[in-house]
Structure 1
């Protein structure tokens, strides 16, 4: 059997397919209102967010003001032994009236519950799915928690080996311009070999919008083609 390198585009395509299948499986089993997938670095900081059904305005507010206050932040999760965690366990209801995170972020966005499904590699959390329930839906019940715990090892087995080969996007250092979250989403899909039409469908955007984002990225990075864009960001 061939051992594909991290630069093999087939590996990236397989990763995108596996992630999509994982999100669909969780949607069927647990029925979240929105899902966020993210990687976790060795410093226990989240990055590389992929949003599924979550408004970008809410995500920006989280990153700018509330990430460090999150009771389910990866630094908290790293100290836990379980692979499926809940907001109730991290922030019990009696403590919520004293929580800025709850009162100023979750409540205004009508979030009633959060479930975190962790993916570990040799005991270290390397990625996670954050599953959000918004009103009028109710909090996750015991049966849904049980389903998440049952599927977690399968998600871990499917994704962790691909994550090891997934080359991360270069950080905003050395003069490399910062990309918006949407530009990062599009860049990863370009790297995975998706056409503008496929990207538009995947992100629920119009094709001209995808083209406009790409032109903005070309200007930011000083490149003139998709191949050069991939080289600037991933190689």
Structure 2
């Protein structure tokens, strides 16, 4: 399956899942080999909210791919995710959701040969209320279809980054999601001068002049992450 058909899978999942279990906002994404969500496709979510999430809150997300993998269920509720996370981090993340009037989230993940490959987030505001148990059960048949389709997705490759240190690779992956230097410093617990040194070394090793070229080199298509589908706008 090529990148165009991967986009089609995202559109199908966003439409089918939100029709079966109504959602205020939704996001489809692929999962790379480092368990980071990438290649987002958004439904209803405005770009500022998504950028806010990527820059400040994705590392706090109780439903991020690594946490869903640890829980091991195809459908994971926000409540389940919070139960597997430090309470202080969970409260901080809930504050982010409240800022955007989100009252509940559910994550559905697809696995291929034991590897988490793709996922979809369904978010609800107060007008729809929290997800009910019977609604989560209705997602299971759709999960099976999504899982079969995900087997045709190309595996994300990072061969071009094979010569990087783990820290440099981590920085490259954060850059591809739009992280600025301050965000890098905060998430990696580094000083700004250290971040700049890592960037210089990273650009030199990959053979690029700046972060824009690096993002293109990694083929992560950041623009897709901030493009709402179909022009539908839901309450934030």
Matches within 5 A, 1:74-223: 74-91=65-82, 99-103=91-95, 105-164=96-155, 174=206, 175=208, 177-178=211-212, 184-185=223-224, 202=229, 204=231
Q: Where has structure 1 moved over 4 Å in runs of 4 or more?
A: 95-98, 170-173, 179-183
Distance 1:183 1:88 in 2: 30
TM-score with structure 2 setting the length: 0.65
Higher relative contact order (CA 8 A, sep 6+): 2
Residues 182 and 33 of structure 1: CA distance in aligned 2, closer, same or farther (over 3 Å): farther
- Which deviations, in whole Å up to 9, do the C-alpha atoms of 1:51-82 show, x marking residues without a partner? 11101111111011111011111111111221
Match of 1:231 in 2: none
Shift of 1:115: 0.5
1:52 aligns with 2:43: yes
Mark the runs of 5 or more structure 1 residues left unpaired by the alignment. Answer: 1-5, 187-198, 206-235
2:11 to 20, 42, 47: 20
Distance 2:147 2:40 in 1: 17
Distance 2:57 2:73 in 1: 24
Tell me, what secondary structure is at the counterpart of 2:23?
coil
Residues 96 and 18 of structure 1: CA distance in aligned 2, closer, same or farther (over 3 Å): same
CA RMSD of aligned residues (A): 3.2
Distance 1:109 1:45 in 2: 23
CA contact (8 A) 1:83 1:119 kept: yes
Match of 2:193 in 1: none
Tell me, what secondary structure is at the counterpart of 2:152?
helix
Residues 97 and 21 of structure 1: CA distance in aligned 2, closer, same or farther (over 3 Å): closer
Report how many residues are paired. 179
CA contact (8 A) 1:83 1:117 kept: yes
Shift of 1:107: 0.9
Distance 1:128 1:49 in 2: 10
Distance 1:110 1:46 in 2: 23
Match of 1:216 in 2: none
TM-score with structure 1 setting the length: 0.66
Distance 1:124 1:150 in 2: 20
Shift of 1:15: 2.6
Tell me, what secondary structure is at the counterpart of 2:4?
helix
Greater shift in the superposed pair: 63-72 or 44-53: 44-53
